[in-house]
Amino acid sequence: MTPESLAFLKSLLDTPGPSSFEAAPARLWRQEAQSLADEVRVDVSGNSYATLYPEGRPRVMLAGHIDEIGVMVTHIDDDGFLSFDTIGGWDHQVFVGQRVRLLGREGPVSGVVGKKAIHIMDKDDREKVSKVEDLWIDVGAANRGEAERQLRIGDPGVLAAGVLEFPNGRLVSRSIDNRIGAFVVLEAVRMLAGGRQAAAVTAVATTREEIAATGGGARSSAVALEPDVAIVVDVTHATDYPGVDKRRHGDYRLGGGPVLSRGASVSEVVFELLASTAQAEQIPYSIEAASRDTHTDAEGIFNAHRGVATALVSVPNRYMHSPNEMVALEDLDRTARLLAAFVRRLTPDTDFVPR
């Protein structure tokens, strides 16, 4: 990964953008895309598009969602303390003792998650699991009016955890799921820019994946693009740390390369093309079984309009949905290289129909 790409990635990860409030990281993504793509645009749902060779065939969609999990203010009491709810799936234990960054009307507002100190808890309460309704956010306000001058009901926020670089090419951030996917699909466009291939390629930074009961931005962007083939880039659980049963959850390691899904929502034709491409390019990869669903944007794309030949490529991620998700930079590079090589192999006659 070039220093320029790494700097862009770190900026993208540090820019708050919970589901339904992704505008700031999406703007940053489109700004980067302007120097790479032939066409860059945004739609009413907040999905961002970067297209190369729009007249080419087949039409390829590379999708990575740009939202992250977060919190939302639900109530402000007379003393200025904020009740909150979750945006997306959280382990509520993660909130205890955390700092937060709320997106107020005049800019970011810092806060801390409050909980009764253990010293003044009853014995039974000490042993209970914390729930979000038992917690609050303290922004230092003296009363409701002071808090409301900065914040209002429905304002979103994220945990205040910035990017960290670790040894062995590890990167840590609260928003790896799945700002990483949006980064990788744009990196694939960067690798393809200026080259020669038959396909029209559109990288899409989709919205609302973490709360997408009806397909979110993935479905609406797929309907707009009508792609012939789509590859979704997301994260999957790395299982290379203590206590994980690999018989139940698979064997996926940081530095092990991209993970290709098989099963639900995935075209076997596209899977085989990806696997053969990885082998030809000497890119290490693993396979993940998805017998029911993938819990990704693939569900929102594969049955859009007349149906889309869809695949899912995932980056191994430790500590999912925490302030300290971790990936290996080499896996990001390998995944982007795989997507670019896959696109170069396509011709107008490539058949995605299973026969």
Positions marked active-site: 209
Tokens of 45: 């749902």
> How many beta carbons lie within 10 A of that of residue 167, not counting itself?
5
CA-to-CA dists, residue 197 to 181, 224, 344, angstroms: 23, 23, 5
Q: Which neighbouring-strand residues pair with 231?
A: 62, 311
Q: What is the DSSP string of 246-260?
A: HHHH----TTS--EE
Burial of 349 (0-12, 13-18, 19+ CB in 10 A): exposed
The residues, ordered by sequence, that sit 6+ positions from 317 with a Cβ below 8 Å of its Cβ are 176, 177, 180, 235, 236, 237, 238, 325, 326, 327
> How many beta carbons lie within 10 A of that of residue 262, not counting itself?
17
